[in-house]
Structure 1
């Protein structure tokens, strides 16, 4: 089994025992209001699985947030991440896009971005599932 993402915003799961893929959800932007997502679809650039916790996968997309999803929660909680990561000085901006993600076996998330440096996050550095509530508004 493996996962795929693309510029159409869809996350798909492929099971090699099956003849077709399963579209899990379409990733959209945050609205600035808790528990709400907009209809603006995000182009996805990167997807990785947490090697220590394979139920979690991370998405990098055309905004500043690395999103974490729990595959066990997807049927009922589509497009709602369980955690997000973003440098705090970039929360209100739209100046960067995530171009790549990597996850270490020591539970650190490496995020590369266009026009910025590379950021290293520990698990306790997340902003929660709704980062706009941390910043009061999304930019």
Structure 2
């Protein structure tokens, strides 16, 4: 069972502070369009890259599916190209398939990391315990 302490630590605990995109939102969207042509995107702020705490067997299973042991949580959606998320909503991605300094890609969406964020470890059960 996931505890409130585990969820609080994920959202508000210390993590490694990392920089996302510092330029304009429009420039970031243009970069994403060149890097991932035609792929849905979601611009986010106040984001957390989450390194999932998983076993070696779980890492292998994820790799076999082309997935990273990582996901993304964002406190604020700025813009979603498909209109799935309204501005100011929060969002949690599925497992990642690739990640760069400013973008976190899942199978269906590339999340564009606007401004500064953080990187934190968390248990798989903690991360996937909250839903909209």
Which structure features the higher share of strand residues? 1
Q: Which has the higher helix share?
A: 2
TM-score > 0.5, shorter chain as reference: no
Structure 2 length normalisation: TM-score?
Answer: 0.29
